[in-house]
Amino acid sequence: MASQLMKAMRLHAGSSGLHCDSLPVPAPGAQQVLLEVYACGVCRTDLHVVDRELQGALEPLTPGHEIVGRIVQLGAEVRGVSVGERVGVPWLGYTCGQCAYCRRGAENLCDFARFTGYTLDGGYAQYAVADARYCLPLPETYSDAQAAPLLCAGLIGYRAYRAAGDGNSLGLYGFGAAAHLLAQLARAQGRRIFAFTRPGDELGQTFARSLGAAWAGSSDEAPPEPLDAAILFAPVGALIPRALQAVRKGGRVVCAGIHMSDIPSFPYQLLWGERSVCSIANLTRADGLEFMRVVAGTPLQPAVHTFALEQATEALAQVRQGQLEGAAVLIPHP
């Protein structure tokens, strides 16, 4: 298998954008599996990587951390999975297991963690290798394209959702891939969703209402009632003061992105009243297993727009411009 060639969209040092390269199919290491990639989601984090807003990325690099694939080869020490099995590869690709964070069950904060499509090669390719210990089982009720956004948009959204607490009214700032999945889950659990989109994005607001949002408006508008909590998926620091103003006393604002523009100064009165702001960093394997159980029992309807592998740059552009209702997904083998 390793003697064969594959296509991969790669980011190279000293150049901008992605290039379509022909590479040998990688051989799995002892703890790895080789996957034939059936689908790979295009996440806003990929934009931050390609735009070099996140430092320390592997170069050259194959981005992509929402990988759905079939195992075609096992490393010598792999146990618990089989050739032919469909698995998902999320953002968290490796942890040390020894640092203080790992020892206390917070492997998402591991000092030596490695991340798929950032410090490890990812899934913008026809084949990929991944540590078998960090792959996730996928509910069979989701197609390959539908399962892809579950692996970050869904997972990170779910971790943010849990951090937001159990209040009834939840604001979602930025109604893209993550918010459209989370809105469905929250509605199924009886919560009321308030969706905030880019100013003037009437199509996005209509989309949010079609998924059961009680209200949808622009991010510069106030909701019709105080919120119990708000989650920011949009990487816009100026939204934090607005969200604080929208939540009730004791409410929480959760920042779900890995990168955000600077937060402007704001009066202490917005924070007072035991309001709080927190961030979500990465995920744990336990998060992944729990979320997959949840979405197996509460079926979601991911809205996906598929692109050929060679159209990765176009897919990223549409994510950047907020042109998609739902998630973009690359299909390496049309």
pLDDT score of 309 = 98
CA distances, 210 to each of 181, 207, 325 (Å)? 12, 5, 11
> Above 80 in pLDDT, residue 334?
no
**How is domain 155-279 classified at the CATH fold level?**
Rossmann fold (3.40.50)
Q: 129 and 33 in contact (C-beta within 8 Å)?
A: yes
How confident is residue 300, by pLDDT bands cut at 50, 70 and 90?
very high
How confident is residue 184, by pLDDT bands cut at 50, 70 and 90?
very high
> Hey, where are the domains in the chain?
5-151+303-331, 155-279
How confident is residue 320, by pLDDT bands cut at 50, 70 and 90?
very high
Q: What is the CATH number of domain 5-151+303-331?
A: 3.90.180.10
pLDDT score of 16 = 85
How confident is residue 15, by pLDDT bands cut at 50, 70 and 90?
confident
> Above 90 in pLDDT, residue 323?
no
Cα 279 from Cα 256, distance rounded (Å): 6
Arithmetic mean of pLDDT, 283-290: 97
How confident is residue 2, by pLDDT bands cut at 50, 70 and 90?
low
User: Which residues, 6 or more positions from 78, have their beta carbon under 8 angstroms from its beta carbon?
Assistant: 28, 30, 31, 32, 33, 132
pLDDT digits (tens, 9 = 90+) for 107-144: 999 999 999 999 999 999 999 999 999 999 999 999 99
Q: 43 and 66 in contact (C-beta within 8 Å)?
A: yes
Arithmetic mean of pLDDT, 263-277: 97
pLDDT digits (tens, 9 = 90+) for 70-114: 999 999 999 999 999 999 999 999 999 999 999 999 999 999 999
> Above 60 in pLDDT, residue 1?
no
pLDDT digits (tens, 9 = 90+) for 19-78: 999 999 999 999 999 999 999 999 999 999 999 999 899 999 999 999 999 999 999 999
Cα 80 from Cα 204, distance rounded (Å): 42
Quote the percentage of the chain above a pLDDT of 70. 99
Arithmetic mean of pLDDT, 148-160: 97
pLDDT score of 130 = 98
Question: Residue 191 — left, alpha, or beta (φ > 0 → left; ψ -120 to 50 → alpha)?
Answer: beta
Using the structure block, give the residue that is written with the tokens 């410090």: 119
Is the preceding peptide bond at 28 cis, omega within 30 degrees of 0? no
Measuring CA to CA, which residue among 90, 111, 113 is closest to residue 101? Answer: 111
